[in-house]
């Protein structure tokens, strides 16, 4: 009987240690992912919601040269979950949310697709400035020739 209790105790200890190590490694992996995403710079906390959906998805948006890449917070992959072309994003609507954040709806340039971003007001101002400062679409020859 004492041998069975000792064995159960060792099994419980092994399971507890295994669970603890698994959780620790998971947290470390998510932290390393976050560092890898933020390493090039130009990232801000940003929730995303597709137009017509009720639920916001928490994440991080990263500024790339010609793209805006969005990553889910609790996703293990290093690839972005959504990528938006810088020249195609057009702000459709802006509003202040009741929780001290700002929300903006963007046309993505894809037929019938709009997306909402929720972030701090300063981050939204930075995003809009980044979009405005980007290269402008080519308008064609002779546009600058006319007064």
Residue 146 has a pLDDT of: 46
Which pLDDT tens digit goes with each residue over 74-124? Answer: 777 778 999 999 999 999 999 998 889 999 999 999 998 999 999 999 999
Query: What was the pLDDT predicted at 5?
Result: 77
In the chain, % of residues over pLDDT 90 = 42
What are the strands, taking DSSP E only, across 11-141?
A: 43-45, 47-50, 59-63, 67-72, 82-85, 90-96, 102-107, 114-119
Distance CA 108, CA 68 (A): 11
Cα-Cα-Cα-Cα dihedral sign, residues 66, 142, 129, 110: negative
Beta bridge partners of 30: none
Q: Model pTM?
A: 0.70
């Amino acid at each position: 009987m004492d041998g069975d209790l000792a064995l159960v105790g060792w099994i419980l200890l092994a399971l507890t240690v295994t669970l603890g190590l698994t959780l620790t490694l998971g947290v470390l992996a998510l932290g390393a992912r976050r560092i890898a995403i933020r390493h090039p710079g130009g990232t801000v906390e940003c929730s995303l919601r597709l137009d017509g959906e009720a639920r916001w998805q928490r994440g991080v948006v990263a500024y790339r040269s010609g793209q805006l890449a969005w990553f889910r917070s609790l996703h293990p992959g290093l690839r972005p979950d959504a990528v938006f072309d810088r020249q195609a994003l057009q702000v459709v609507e802006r509003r202040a949310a009741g929780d001290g954040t700002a929300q903006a709806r963007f046309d993505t340039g894809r037929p019938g697709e709009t997306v909402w971003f929720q972030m701090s007001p300063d981050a939204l101002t930075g995003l809009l400035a980044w979009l405005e400062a980007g290269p402008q679409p080519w308008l064609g020859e002779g546009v600058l020739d006319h007064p």
